[in-house]
Structures are given as C-alpha cells and as structure tokens.
Amino acid sequence: MTTATLSALIFDVDGTLADTESAHRAAFNTAFREAGLDWNWDEALYTRLLEVSGGKERIRHYWSEVNGEMRSIDAGALADTVQRIHDLKTACYEGLVNEGAVQLRPGVLALIESASQQGLRLAIATTTSPVNIAALLRKALGADWKYAFQVVEDASTAPLKKPHPQVYLQTLSRMRLAPEAGLAFEDSGNGLRAARGAGLATLVTPNAYTAHHDFSGALRVLPDLAGIGVGELRAWHAEAGR
C-alpha cells in the first residue's frame, strides 16, 4: 500500500456508531408477533443470524431454515410477506430509537466532531435501510445530521450486502477518494471484509454480538472509540501505509 495522508473517515452504522442490535432484535420479535408468527429470536439465535447481512435477507434465511425444503408459499408471496414483516420491524425500531433505547457508542460523537473540525471528510457506508440511519442519527446528531457527512451510502444505493465491497467502492467513487487516503470503521467480520475488499485500512470496534468474529487484517481492534482522537488515527493510518 502506498503512503497517503489520511483525509476521510468512513463509518458503518449498526453496531459501529451505536449498539443497535439489541433494539433490532426486539423490533424483529415484535414484528413477528404482529405478523402472526410464533418466531422468537433469542440472543444466541440472533447472533448466528447476524452472519447474514441485511434485515430482509435475514428473514428470508430464517424462513428457509424453519420451512426446510417445503414450498408452502410462492416466490412473489414470500417477497410480499418478508417486506411486510420488515416494514413492521422498521417502524418498531424507529419507535425504540425515538424513545431513547439506542445511544451512540463511547467516543463516537467526540470523534465525529473533532474530525470535522480538523478538516477530515466524513462518510457513511452501510447496508442498513435509510429509515434506520435517519432514525438513529436524527436522534443523536439532530435534524441536520446529513450535513455532517459528505456521502451516505446505504441499502437503497448499494443492494449487494457486506461482505461484498460494493457500498465502500461506491462511497470512494462518490467522494473521488483513493482508498489509501481513507479509514473505515466497522464492528463485524463481514464489514471488515467489505472495507478491506475496497482497499481501506479498517479500525474495528466489536460489540457483544460480533466479538467472536475473525478480525484478521484489521488495522486496530478496540473496545470502543473512547479517548481516540484524530492524532492517533493519523499515526495508525500512516503505519498501514508503510
């Protein structure tokens, strides 16, 4: 990797900016009840299902597990059912966020503010839905949260889920940024592989749902971003370029 000055920070959302997964799990279970399903995703099951990126993809995956090879519903009807469940889940999750059930992880807000003040460009690269992103960041950063980020790539613009690098490649393209000049922030093995697949040095802050993942190739693996400043990021990024 060639040496380049750090000029941009690119953040994943779920699990990275905030510990969202417990709220997502609760919202899924509420949606299942409202849809008349007897499904219940406990922590162990949900941890396993997080290996599948994307909420609708996760529902489809579990549907195939519990139904085996049975084709009790045609493809179109299944897609409609999955969409309805996901819509219920999204509405429930937004309500939980608005009630204050989800907070930014330690150090995140301070780093965003200091990085912006020091001239670093900021972006979001996630394959979660735009509604989920807006609910979280509107609550955490205020109504003008989008102005903090030069680019926001999400499930609506990057349909290929992590570990595919599409969302990062599109972010880099829109920013006209060489990967050597950026630093990605992730919490999961799939996210790390997506960022590395786009050529980005990646700092990982695992959470309770992802601590068991393989983070080989990460620039640093930290418990959170508390006390981490732009100076440390520049120094670590420079190491990656040597």
Structural domains for the chain: 8-20+103-241 (3.40.50.1000), 21-98 (1.10.150.240)
Residue 78: per-residue pLDDT: 86
Residue 131 near residue 94 (C-beta atoms within 8 A): yes
- The mean per-residue pLDDT over the stretch 20-46 comes to 97
Residue 74: per-residue pLDDT: 75
The position carrying tokens 């508390």 is: 226
Q: Which tokens is 210 given?
A: 């992802």
pTM of the entire predicted model? 0.91
Is the predicted pLDDT of residue 155 greater than 70, yes or no?
A: yes
Residue 185 near residue 8 (C-beta atoms within 8 A): no
Is the predicted pLDDT of residue 70 greater than 50, yes or no?
A: no
- The mean per-residue pLDDT over the stretch 210-220 comes to 97
Rounded CA-CA distance 163/127 in Å is 10
Higher pLDDT, 67 or 116: 116
Active site residues: 12, 14
Cβ count within 10 A of residue 116: 16
Residue 197: per-residue pLDDT: 98
Residue 241: per-residue pLDDT: 77
Rounded CA-CA distance 161/159 in Å is 6
Q: Which tokens is 73 given?
A: 């519903």
Residue 77: per-residue pLDDT: 85
Confidence of residue 2 (pLDDT cuts 50, 70, 90): very low
The position carrying tokens 């960022």 is: 195
Rounded CA-CA distance 228/111 in Å is 7
The position carrying tokens 């406990």 is: 42
Residue 189 near residue 213 (C-beta atoms within 8 A): yes
Residue 167 near residue 127 (C-beta atoms within 8 A): yes
- End-to-end Cα spacing for the chain: 7
Is the predicted pLDDT of residue 1 greater than 90, yes or no?
A: no
